[in-house]
Chain A
Amino acid sequence: MARLFYSERGDHIESTEPVRVSRYRGITRLNHWITAGSLILLALSGLAFFSPSLYFLTGLFGGGQIARWLHPILGVVLFLSFALLFLQMWRLNLPRPEDTTWVTRIGDVVTGHEERLPELGKYNAGQKFIFWAMSGLILVLIVSGVMMWQQFFDGLVPIQIRRIATLIHALAAVAIILVFILHVFAAFWVRGTLRAMTRGDVTGGWAWRHHRKWLREVAGRGDRGPAE
């Protein structure tokens, strides 16, 4: 099979009238929602320790002791789950020349003038930013988090290192929450995107408008993608 530059092998045209394009397999969607769920629970339990004004969030988990116990365990779930997503997605998130143009015309992006932007593959530079920011921050969070993990790793690093790890963990947590907000906002603001992660497909118009190179490549190989 020809090398694919803009799409995954599983992406395929599901129907032609109207056009619907399959974007994520069921297993990828499940993987995504486990990642999302653990990230949200991590943010809620972590924020409870972050600020006394948010300590009440421990109530969601059945108290401070349980939240303290659960948070790092969810961290491991997030890390493993994201690692699987990473393996599926990293290739199409590598930077491409058209990303530079996209970024320099960010004004047209926010005003919705996509006709003035280059045609794009499966991901635009914004989506790629979210992908790499999540990857980097999750790595920072797991490394610093393990150093803070009193229950199982209390003697792992000296206290001075633990202080630095704690500061870094708190900063990285704020950063990943900001990236998360941007991610959710973008998925919602670009109408028709959410269904890619719920039902697994998008409309032809959506693919034409936002990811035309991806659509061309998927359509170009007809419906011959491997069956799910």
Chain B
Amino acid sequence: MSGTAPQPTTAAANPPVQPMEAGFGTRDLVRVSATADLPAPDRQLTKLAKLIDVSKCIGCKACQSACVEWNDTTPEIGENVGVYENPHDLTPDMFTLMRFSEWENPATNELEWLIRKDGCMHCEDPGCLKACPAPGAIVQYSNGIVDFIHDNCIGCGYCVTGCPFDIPRISKTDHKSYKCTLCSDRVAVGQGPACAKACPTKAITFGTKDDMLALADDRIEDLKSRGYDNAGVYDPEGVGGTHVIYVLHHADKPGIYSDLPENPRISPIVEGWKGVTKTAGMAAMGVAAAGALLMGLFSRGNKVEAEEEVAAERLVRDREDI
């Protein structure tokens, strides 16, 4: 081994070829599902992000192919039903999907073909992780990557319930949940994500979050100069920002990009379920169980008296005589 891999700041550079120690790992965990008191890591990694500029995307799906290739998944061969999406949805074997939508711009009366690369957003405040009941099945590193640890996954589907973006998919084969890893295994050895590396138009770029936000600003300025007055970045605050961010030419209407949520946040129902329901529920069950046990042990109980046996005998005898 010759040292530790540095955090990659681009997906464009060629990776180092000599074997190296992983650049980050369990000591960089900031959140672990169903685990309350996680010690704070002793260092903070630079926050990373993937920038997806939808205005540059040509819908070639090189990213999808690269994703399948790198993650060694084998999506089922689908059926052409006359739309460009292929497969028709995210699956346990397809972590990213180009979604196509046709939109008639009322301002220009022109038809716009909007293409959005869908996949995990790597939320700063991940709903999947909050909902997960299995200790250590979902983790978040201090660089912002949210990863599923399949050895600990039980396949309950709570991450699907918790995710504001409808991303995780449960495999019908091994009953574990799958989604984009932001190529955590590549990032750990100094390489950018496979999709960003494969993108021929640089619609997908990768680097520190600060760099990506700066790049997004440049792109937005350019788009505005071309008449896209509402161009902007999609880095939704409701989930604390994300580590996959978009440049949208119509950032005022994220919904037109195949239902990208306007104000994503962890659903209040999920917050209530994982919050007060658990505390109040545990307290109520604990008090009831302890109370019943103590009363059961120490109270006399409601006992039948000897006269009552006699009374019953009399009653039965009298009736039977009739």
Q: Do A and B bind each other?
A: yes
A49 in contact (CB, < 8 A): yes
A209 in contact (CB, < 8 A): yes
- Please list the residues of chain A having a beta carbon within 8 angstroms of any beta carbon in chain B: 13, 16-19, 48-53, 55, 58, 63-65, 67-69, 112, 114, 148, 150-151, 154, 159-160, 162-164, 166-167, 170-171, 174, 177-178, 181-182, 184-185, 188-192, 203-209, 215-216, 219-220, 222-223
Given A49-B156, A67-B154, A219-B320; A163-B267 close (CB under 8 Å): yes
Q: Is the CB of B272 within 8 A of A52?
A: no
Select one of A160, A178, A185, A205 contacting B267, CB under 8 A: A160
Q: Is the CB of B319 within 8 A of A185?
A: no
Tally of contacts, chain A with chain B, CB under 8 A: 167
Residue of B nearest to A15 (CB): B316
Interchain CA distance A58-B155 in the complex, whole Å: 13
- A147, chain B: closest CB distance, angstroms: 10
Residue of A nearest to B273 (CB): A167
Name the residue in B161, B289, B299 with the highest tally of chain A Cβ atoms < 10 Å from its Cβ.
Answer: B161
| Chain B interface helix/strand/loop/mixed | helix
| Chain A interface helix/strand/loop/mixed | helix
Q: Is the CB of A191 within 8 A of B36?
A: no
A148: chain B residues at CB < 8 Å are 157, 161
A18: chain B residues at CB < 8 Å are 309, 313
Interface size class of B (residues with CB under 8 A): 35 or more
Q: Is the CB of B154 within 8 A of A16?
A: no
Name the residue in A16, A150, A222 with the highest tally of chain B Cβ atoms < 10 Å from its Cβ.
Answer: A150
Given A50-B278, A178-B284; A205-B320 close (CB under 8 Å): no
Q: Is the CB of A52 within 8 A of B302?
A: no
Q: Is the CB of B304 within 8 A of A68?
A: no
B160: chain A residues at CB < 8 Å are 150, 154, 159, 162
